Chain A
Amino acid sequence: MFKKSTANDLVGWLLASPLLVILALFLVLPICMIVAVSFWGATEFSIYPAFQFENYQYLFESSVTYAVFFKTFLFTIITWFFCLIIGFTVAYFLAFHVHSLTWQIALFLLCTIPFWTSNIIRMISWIPFLGRNGIANQSLMSLGIIDEPLEWLLFSDFAVVLAFVHLYALFMVVPIFNTMMRIDKSLLEAARDAGASGFQTLTNIIIPLTKPGIMIGSIFVVTLVMGDFITVRFMSGSQSANVGRLISNDVALLRYPSAAATSVILLITVLITIGIMLRFVNIRKEL
């Protein structure tokens, strides 16, 4: 008995080892390196091993850091909110209003069409659309809704959030749709038989049961937005900054230790955020 279980243990460990090795090599090791380098020093063109807190000290003393982290959270929360509304609505429509499976699959695939081109192309294509002389402004002006072109359409925080929502809404649709499809339809019928209104069914049955999907989608959106730098750079015309841009600027100027320190803080922030989110829903249990 005892012997058999150790053999099983061994097989289990062996089966898990490829994943373990991959994670250790490509996740744990790089993160350890980043943490180590964040204590190093930098000269104009080189970095040297050291153990100093200068990078962190500068980070925490600079008002820019706080402003930029605040901005990052702001982008995250607004994007998350709109992605949730859009994602939930689309998933709800697909799961409960479209009754044939064929149509559900067809419409779902339709949602993925934008993913056939790259992230950056989808983002940049907004620029001529939103510009001062772009299609949006010209249409609005010819319709007589506005007299002067709207300046805030492009190179603004509005443009950044718009691009984020466009890029990441699908990450919300997919997991929510997935959990919705697994809701037992007889529950909905039972609710209606018991006299619940549509809204009551939504709040008492559908939302509680799709919580894990919402949470998985939220984690996707939050991590993607908090780690982004290129969308913010292009859509704000380099005028806004989030933490990702701070890091990319540092990297571009060869200040790796400083970039590493910012990355470590960002990593901790994201982990705490996700930790808080997971307090609301126990994904493991619900799945």
Chain B
Amino acid sequence: MTKSNSTKINPAISRRSLLKSTAATAGVAIGSGAITGFPTIWAQNIKDVTLRQFGTGVSNLNEVADKVKEDLGFTLEMTALDSDSVTQRAATQPKSFDIADIEYWICKKVWPTGNLQAMDTSKIKNYDKIVGIFRNGKLTPESVIAQGTAPHSVGFVEGPGGTSFVDNESGWMTLIPTIYNADTLGIRPDLIGRPIDTWAELLNPEFKGKASILDISSIGIMDMAMVCEAMGEVTYGDKGNMTKEEIDKTIGIFTEAKKNGQFRAFWKSFDESVNLMASGEVVIQSMWSPAITAVKSKGIPCVYQPLKEGYRSWGGGIGLSSNLSGLELDAAYEYINWYLDGWVGGFLMRQGYYSAVPETSKNYMSEDEWGFWFEGKAAAGDIVNPQGDVIEKAGAVRDGGAFEERMGRVACWNAVMDENQYMVRKWNEFIAA
């Protein structure tokens, strides 16, 4: 990890390293202020700034906070919570955070509270390089936009203070996309011993007592829908926005399976999913990419199985609290620009996620890593995760292949539905059944 960082040259580091040295030696603040174009006061005070970020465990990593301190000079406090708690805090405790690292469906839920402020895209240096999914919804000009809460549909508002989403690139973004992925089922190939190619396998009686699904209603319902649709039991108008009848049917099928003992357990946190899979309690389950990586790094075979119906995808981004202003707001923009600048992207991509601006991340990955994670090429050497554990031997190919192949086969995005309240109640009944 450190090796690949130090060997790469960051084209945009000059301004920041200048800033950093400025902060270190206040004596030259006047001179450097002229060079960087920032007011002197900014450079002097940047070290005192503390930004409080919270979000799901996926991207709230201490390594990122350490690197921010090193590169930008200010302090970033990280709090990792589960999706429900994240939504809750973003909606009810606006004063408790400066930066919200949330998913797009959470944004749809939280934006109307007015706790977040829209961001001026003209201040985002790499805005033009952000992949199309987050701007006009299309990965390539020919792409069909998947069902669910597609990121671009809640990515823009009409202006600063805007409360409703607009369907064009208005220049005011709700979240700056940072991380996203295409999710599918995780399997233990050694314990299953045959090919798996459809979501319907989750409810196959063959895996009775050895299946699992995640107990986060808004995501779990989508996995359920993928399964029911694959089984041919339910036909959906829009999986991301189901009708009451569709919800009833979907939950009904899963409740019956639960009563028949199909599931070993449900999981709510990342660690639980890793433990279930690694211990062999479960052989097929909803899973997240780094959880697969975590199981593999223990030397246990685990595959993120591409399925013929496509992926269920999600995207996250960082939003700014409406309480941010002045120096803190400037620091937050600086942080966003740094985020899209590649170091974090490389760090996340080496765990199996995708960065919103892949081309900058490339600068922070070795050619082999880039080939393996992004281009779907066979690894030339061993592939290690950011912590340095070997997760793939030379010759391995990423499950699902290249970026375009995976993100191009998204069937639906994580979503929040119009009938969300109803769905949540039904979900509670499913858990209690």
Contacts and interface: CB of A to CB of B under 8 A. Distances in A.
Q: Note whether A and B form a binding pair.
A: yes
A67 interface: yes
A87 to B, nearest CB: 30
B110 interface: yes
Contacts of B275: 127
Nearest to B264: A155
Contacts of B332: none
A128 B268 CA distance: 18
B279 interface: yes
Interface residues of A, number: 30
Contacts of B429: 62, 64
A116 B309 CA distance: 51
Interface string B410-421: 000000000011
Contact of A132 (B212, B215, B279): B279
Nearest to B258: A239
B109 interface: yes
Interface of A is mostly: loop
A254 B83 CA distance: 12
A163 to B, nearest CB: 14
Contacts of B279: 128, 131-133
A219 B181 CA distance: 50
A239 B430 CA distance: 9
B421 A155 contact: no
Interface string B266-302: 1110000001000111000000000000000000000
Contacts of A128: 279
Contacts of A155: 264-265, 281
Nearest to B84: A252
A238 B281 contact: no
Given A45-B91, A67-B432, A131-B281, A239 B265 contact: yes
A204 interface: no
A237 B264 contact: yes
B88 interface: yes
B265 A238 contact: yes
A45 B113 contact: yes
B281 A245 contact: no
Interface in A144-202: 151, 154-155
A36 interface: no
Interface in B393-433: 420-421, 424-425, 428-429, 431-433
Given A44-B421, A45-B91, A237 B280 contact: no
A194 B428 CA distance: 61
A245 B280 contact: no
A68 interface: yes
A64 B425 CA distance: 10
Contacts of A67: 432-433
B21 interface: no
Nearest to A127: B275
B112 interface: yes
B141 to A, nearest CB: 35
Interface in A248-287: 249-250, 252-255
B281 A44 contact: no
Interface string A210-250: 00000000000000000000000100111101000110011
A75 to B, nearest CB: 13
Instruction: Name the residue in B258, B279, B280, B431 with the highest tally of chain A Cβ atoms < 10 Å from its Cβ.
Output: B431
Nearest to A255: B424
A162 to B, nearest CB: 16
Contacts of B162: none
A254 B275 CA distance: 28
A213 B276 CA distance: 42
B351 interface: no
Given A45-B92, A64-B429, A239-B431, 4 more contacts: A45-B109, A132-B280, A155-B265, A238-B215
| Across the A-B interface, the 10 shortest Cβ-Cβ residue pairs | A237-B265, A238-B266, A241-B432, A45-B91, A252-B84, A155-B265, A64-B429, A64-B432, A238-B215, A68-B432
Interface of B: 84-85, 87-88, 91-92, 109-110, 112-113, 209, 212, 215, 217, 258, 263-268, 275, 279-281, 420-421, 424-425, 428-429, 431-433
28 contacts: A44-B420, A45-B110, A45-B112, A58-B425, A64-B428, A64-B433, A67-B432, A67-B433, A127-B275, A131-B281, A132-B279, A154-B281, A155-B281, A233-B268, A237-B212, A237-B263, A237-B266, A237-B267, A238-B265, A238-B267, A238-B268, A239-B265, A239-B431, A249-B428, A252-B84, A254-B87, A254-B88, A255-B424
